[in-house]
Amino acid sequence: MVSSEALAERAGTTGAQVRKDLSSFGSFGTRGRGYGVDPLHARIREILGLTRPWQVALVGAGRIGSALHAYPHFRDRGFRIVAILDMDPAKIGGAWEGTPIRDVGELEAVVGAESVEIVILAVPASAAQPLAERAAAAGVRGILNFAPVRLRLPEGVEVNNVNLAVELEALSHALSLEDARR
């Protein structure tokens, strides 16, 4: 068992916050004891949609793409990278851990054949918008975008942007504030 306070401790929040958040999905704690770790874990996996595997295509077999492909936590949680696509002839025909790198021209075919629902976009900024549009048109429902551009896509396609420069800027901002206070 684990109490809301213990969870809050780890997550960097308060017990009340944890309880309020969890209560919005029903009540699965036991008063006086806390939350059962296994049921809680199972419930959170359900909420996050991790109880079934997701077919993922990686578009862009560059440096960040390579790091992401090697990242074991994606597969752990049911995200299956079933295809890797690139435009570089030097890369096409190669393979990463058994997954072939294919020509990005095959994007639509691959999405159809493999029932790809999520695309990880790790291509240069200039290529991101057209590729996102092609993916969306081919039936992809979600895009995790690493290119530093705001994608414009039809309603119904979920986009999540990762901008690592912003993460560093948040740090320099915080440090500047500190400096200003002294």
Partner DNA sequence: GCCAGCTTGTGAAAAACTTCACAAGAAAGG
Partner DNA sequence: CCTTTCTTGTGAAGTTTTTCACAAGCTGGC
Q: What sign does the CA torsion over 135, 122, 74, 100 have? A: positive
Nearer to ligand NAD, 25 or 71 (CB): 71
Shortest distance, position 165 Cβ to DNA, whole Å: 21
Which of 10, 11, 14, 111 binds DNA (CB under 7 A)? It is 14
The rounded distance, in Å, linking the Cα atoms of 15 and 9 is 8
Enumerate residues 150-179 that contact ligand NAD by CB under 6 A.
164
Please enumerate in sequence order all residues whose Cβ is within 8 A of that of 80, keeping only pairs 6 or more positions apart, or say none: 53, 54, 55, 56
Shortest distance, position 7 Cβ to ligand NAD, whole Å: 22
Nearer to DNA, 52 or 181 (CB): 181
Nearest to 112 by CA among 86, 91, 140: 140
The rounded distance, in Å, linking the Cα atoms of 99 and 69 is 10
User: Which positions lie near its own copies, rule CB under 8 A?
Assistant: 10-12, 47-50, 54, 56, 62-64, 66-68, 70-71, 73-74, 76-79, 117-118, 120, 141-144, 148, 150, 156, 158, 160, 162, 164-165, 167-179
